[in-house]
Every structure is written in C-alpha cells, then in structure tokens.
C-alpha cells in the first residue's frame, strides 16, 4: 500500500501519515507548510517508508511510482488561516483538488476528499444529514473556505462520473487533539492557551452556540475507513456529542486548573449557531463511530498544550 497525503504535515495530516505508517503503508506527504510546522513530522520524518515532497499542490501534485490512494487534506482549515489566505484557500480547493484528482486518475488510485461540515454553512436542519444541501452565504467572510470545499466536492463527483475515478468524500466536523496550533483560532486551542496563561477565556456571543468535537484518533479512523472502501459518500465524520461553547470553556478551565475568568466577545459574522452530525451513514457504510468521549479526548489533549506552553515559557506551571 502506497498512499499520497496532501496536507500531510498539518494537524490531521500528520496524525494520518503516522497512522498509515503504523499500518505498514508507504506514505508520500505533499505539503508547502503554509499553515503547519515542520515539527509536526518529528517522529516520522526519518521513517524509511515516509517521503516528503515540499510543494504547493495548487501549482502541481506529482508523485513518481505507483499509488493506491490519494487523500487530499491540503487546505488552510482554521478561520484564522483562511481569512488570512483567502485566495490561496480558493486555489487549493479548486486547482489543488484538480491536481490531486488528476494524480489519482493517472495512478488508478482511490481518491478521498477531506471536505467539511462547513459545506452546511449555518444549518437550518439539525442535526446535519448528508442529504442536506446547506445554508452558505457565498459572499460572506467564511465563503472562501465553505465554497471552495463545495466546489471541491462537485469536482470530485465530476471526476467520478466523467473519468471513473474511484472517489470518496468525507465531511469532517470539528476535530481536536495534540498538534493543533495554539493561535489557530479554533475553540479548544484558544481556550487551552488562555487558561494556561491565566488570561481571560474569550467566549463568542453568549456561548450558547454548539459544537460537536471529535478526537483526532477517531477522525483518522474515519478517513482510513473511507480510503479502504469504494463508497462514494459524502459521509459525515464527527462526534454526535453536542456541547455549548460556554460549557466547553468551563471544561477546559476546570481541566487545566486555571483561574482565568470567562469573558464574552462579539460573535463572528456567519458563525454557525448549531453544529452536530447525523452519523447514521458512517455507521452503516463504514462501520465507523467515534469511541473517545470529550472528557477522555480533553484529558489526552490538554497535557500536550500544557507541555507546549511550558516549553515556550521556559518553566512548568506550579
Ligand atoms: P492544517 O492547516 O493543520 O493542515 C492543512 C495542511 O495543508 C497544512 O500542512 C498546510 O501547510 C497544507 N497546505 C495548505 N495549502 C497547501 C497547498 N496549496 N499545497 C500544499 N500544502 C498545503 O488543517 P487540518 O485541521 O489538519 O485540516 C486538514 C484538512 O481537513 C483540511 O482540508 C480541512 O479543510 C479538513 N477539515 C479539518 C477539520 C478539523 O477540525 N481539523 C474539520 C473539517 C475539515
């Protein structure tokens, strides 16, 4: 088994590459590090079955030799990143996806697109099933991400129908775990960093908006399950456990033993108010469901942030 992972140096990508190596696969990672740290690859970079190609997949995505699967993760994924890189985000969703699909087509490989719950926008149906078409503002600030993923899904279907490429689409809901960047703007890293540094924990709006948070190992199992079937999807991959953002902030504060106060800030424009996947299809088609509770996932994640914080600040918290 030889698998190409675009965006393989990112948060999800680095965990995916490691999981593939553990399963005995050869892994070719294509990444330009636009939103990731090379340190994410520490531990696998020198692995004999791991190869890194430093490339912008919006320009080209070529790998010599045979491939069984192309898993396309390359894309700025956090709001901070895609708002900073709007055109690059559109390009990697369009040209980058096209190059990754061409690569799969030429190699006769399975192609898996890492799409997102953001294709549902601010959903009018709850929980979100895959047959819901979504509620996206095409000219809102988040549209660069949402629409590039919607385009990527459409292009994936076009390659499947016109060129008979074996494709699969997963719609990933919020995932978390070690190696998220503290400043990436997503809830858990933000709260963890604020709690660890004793600064106020900033909750958007009144904190009653909900999220469903899936531990990274579960997300990776879902991606791998999709890579090893011929099921086209789309399939939701996420946790069905829903939590308000305020409750999440309280959990993080408690688990880190922080005395930070919780303060309320403006809700970003077009921020979804509810978010929870219906995962019946994943259960049926992939035999997949999450196995790590939020409490366990936080217990595996927060010590990683604490270590990072201590490392950057030159001491351990007392
Ligand atoms: P990330 O930013 O940590 O990783 C993305 C990786 O893609 C980075 O290593 C980045 O350098 C690379 N990249 C971006 N543009 C590139 C380009 N043009 N050429 C080559 N490499 C490029 O993000 P992540 O959280 O690991 O997300 C990975 C994928 O999963 C993304 O496609 C994202 O949309 C999707 N996803 C993630 C989540 C989540 O909760 N993490 C949720 C839904 C969907």
Render pLDDT for 3-58 as a digit per residue (tens, 0 to 9).
999 999 999 999 999 999 999 999 999 999 999 999 999 999 999 999 999 999 99
Does the pLDDT of residue 317 top 50, yes or no? Answer: no
Q: Distance (Å, rounded) from C-alpha 38 to C-alpha 32?
A: 10
What is the Å distance from ligand 1's center to 261 Cα? Answer: 32
pLDDT for 24:
97
Residue nearest atom 16 in ligand 1 by C-alpha distance:
74
Catalytic site residue from 82, 145, 215, 231: 145
- Which has the closest alpha carbon to 173: 224, 83, 235, 88? 235
Alpha-carbon distance 113 to 101, whole Å? 9
254: helix, strand or coil = helix
CA 11 from centre of chain = 7
Residue of minimum CA distance from atom 12 in ligand 1: 7
Return the residue matching tokens 């079937």: 229
Establish whether residue 40 lines the binding site of ligand 1, counting it when its CB lies within 6 angstroms of any ligand atom.
Answer: no
pLDDT at 316 over 70: no
Q: Which of 40, 55, 77 to mutate to test the pocket of ligand 1 (most atoms within 8 A of CB)?
A: 77
Q: Cα separation of 283 and 236, whole Å?
A: 10
Q: Of the given ranges (34-38, 135-139, 158-162, 268-272), which has the lowest mean pLDDT?
A: 268-272
- H helices of the chain, in order, are 11-22, 79-84, 86-91, 97-107, 143-163, 187-197, 216-227, 245-256, 280-281, 294-313
| Residue that is written with structure tokens 């990672």 in the block | 29
Identify the three-state secondary structure at position 168: strand
Among 4, 5, 12, 238, residue to substitute to test ligand 1 (most atoms within 8 Å of Cβ): 12
Separation CA 198–CA 142 (nearest Å): 30
Assembly ipTM: 0.99
Residue 269 pLDDT level (bands cut at 50, 70, 90):
confident
Phi, psi of 89 (to 5 degrees): -65, -45
Rounded CA-CA distance 165/115 in Å is 17
pLDDT of res. 311: 82
Q: CA gyration radius for the chain?
A: 19
Of the pLDDT bands very low, low, confident and very high (cuts 50, 70, 90), residue 309 is confident
The question of whether 176 is a catalytic residue gets the answer no
Give the residue from 211, 216, 223, 205 showing the smallest Cα distance to 70: 223
């Amino acid at each position: 088994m030889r698998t190409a992972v675009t965006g393989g140096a990112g948060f999800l990508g680095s965990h995916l590459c490691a999981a593939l190596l553990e399963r005995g696969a050869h892994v070719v990672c294509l990444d330009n590090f636009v939103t990731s740290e090379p340190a994410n690859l520490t531990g696998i970079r020198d692995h004999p079955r791991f190869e890194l190609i430093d490339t912008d997949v919006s320009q080209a995505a070529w790998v010599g030799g045979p491939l069984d699967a192309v898993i396309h993760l390359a894309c700025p994924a956090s709001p901070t990143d895609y708002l900073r890189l709007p055109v690059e985000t559109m390009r990697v969703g369009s040209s980058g996806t096209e190059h990754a699909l061409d690569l799969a087509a030429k190699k006769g490989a399975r192609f898996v697109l890492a799409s997102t719950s953001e294709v549902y926008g601010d959903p009018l149906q709850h929980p979100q099933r895959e047959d819901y078409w979504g509620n996206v503002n095409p000219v809102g600030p988040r549209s660069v991400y949402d629409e590039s993923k919607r385009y990527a899904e459409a292009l994936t279907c076009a390659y499947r129908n016109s060129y008979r490429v074996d494709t699969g689409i997963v719609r990933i809901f919020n995932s978390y775990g070690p190696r998220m960047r503290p400043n990436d703007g997503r809830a858990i890293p933000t709260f963890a960093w604020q709690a660890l540094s004793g600064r106020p924990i900033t909750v958007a709006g009144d904190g009653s908006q909900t999220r469903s948070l899936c531990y990274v190992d579960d997300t990776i199992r879902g991606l791998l399950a999709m890579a090893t079937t011929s099921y086209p999807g789309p399939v939701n991959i996420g946790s069905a456990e829903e939590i308000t953002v305020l409750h999440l902030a309280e959990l993080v504060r408690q688990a880190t033993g922080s005395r930070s106060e919780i303060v309320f800030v403006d809700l970003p424009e077009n921020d979804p108010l509810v978010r929870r996947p219906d995962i019946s299809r994943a259960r049926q088609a992939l035999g997949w469901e999450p196995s790590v509770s939020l409490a366990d996932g936080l217990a595996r994640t927060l010590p990683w942030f604490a270590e990072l914080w201590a490392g950057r600040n030159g001491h351990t918290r007392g």
